[in-house]
Amino acid sequence: MIDMFLYDDEDEAKIKFVGFVGEHSRYDLTLIYSDRHYGKTIVLNTQNNTFGIIGKDDLEEDGYISHILGLSEDEGNEVTEYLHDVIDI
């Protein structure tokens, strides 16, 4: 039995599905844009079922994208380069 809900909200979201090939791998990502997470974007790596809530500040942190999305350093750099172009803030 549920004693108390912490939250049960609905929000409009824009969802983008993208697949691309870089020098090191193929990437299949789902990007969910919403106001829910302080303007950050939920990025799902659909190849290995990992995700992160990512903003421009996170893209500047070395190794963060590779860590949070379960990628090698080279793969993380490719995804970071792509995300710089599509994540707004």
Domain region containing 56: 14-86
15-70: pLDDT as tens digits:
999 999 999 999 999 999 988 888 899 999 999 999 999 999 999 999 999 999 99
**Amino acid at position 32, single letter:** I
Instruction: Identify whether 36 is part of a domain.
Output: yes
Instruction: Identify whether 23 is part of a domain.
Output: yes
The predicted model scores a pTM of 0.87
Helix (H, G, I), strand (E, B) or coil at 58: helix
Instruction: Identify whether 34 is part of a domain.
Output: yes
Instruction: Identify whether 20 is part of a domain.
Output: yes
Instruction: Identify whether 63 is part of a domain.
Output: yes
Please give the helix or strand (H or E) that residue 86 lies within, else none. Answer: helix 73-86
Instruction: Identify whether 78 is part of a domain.
Output: yes
Indicate if the alpha-carbon torsion angle 88, 65, 72, 30 is positive or negative: negative
Instruction: Identify whether 9 is part of a domain.
Output: no
Instruction: Identify whether 1 is part of a domain.
Output: no
